[in-house]
Amino acid sequence: MNSNFMRPAVLSLICLSALSSCTTSNTRMSGGGLFGRSASSATPYIASLQGGIVGRSGLQMDRRDFNKALEAEYRALETAPGGQAVMWGEDDTKGEVIANAPYQVGNQNCRQYTHSLTVDGKQAKVRGAACRNADGTWTPLI
């Protein structure tokens, strides 16, 4: 069977397995977001984004919101159909990430994407591209 076909299926199973162990309660999570307080140490997938394009926005936000923004970038690159927004945050700190359709560079899938965000009334829109590595991580193109 084609290994390029199997990678997304395997990654989906891993994600579902990890999420199935989560529990919910009526208290707000202090860690913030899907990957908890320390996204960089919790997952190589978020760390491989190297701060993503949100890091180039020039807007300052706390670590929790920054991690949510990076998670949204990863979800947009990895699973969102081209042109579909992945939303994150609320109130004064929020954004959306829209990835274009994938394209090939050598043997890698790559995607251009846009991150529009608002932090304390200030808005920014940054554009970038990233390519998917064999291990499922995404590396931004600079």
Buried b (16+ CB within 10 A) or exposed e, 44-71: ebbbbbeebbbbebebebeebbbbbbbb
Its sign, for the CA torsion 124, 125, 129, 130, is positive
Q: How far apart are CA 71 and CA 34, in angstroms?
A: 7
Q: How far apart are CA 133 and CA 99, in angstroms?
A: 17
The confidence score (pLDDT) of residue 25 equals 28
- What pTM was estimated for this model as a whole? 0.69
The confidence score (pLDDT) of residue 84 equals 97
Q: How far is CA 84 from CA 59, 80, 98, 101, 113, in A?
A: 24, 6, 6, 10, 11
Mean pLDDT for each consecutive 10-residue tract of the chain (142 residues)?
A: 44 37 29 36 72 91 94 95 96 96 94 96 96 92 82
Where exactly are the structural domains of the chain?
Answer: 29-141
Burial class (CB in 10 A: 0-12, 13-18, 19+), 99: buried
Residues 6+ apart with CB under 8 A from 127: 53, 112, 113, 114, 115
Whether 129 and 111 have beta carbons less than 8 Å apart is answered as: yes
The confidence score (pLDDT) of residue 116 equals 97
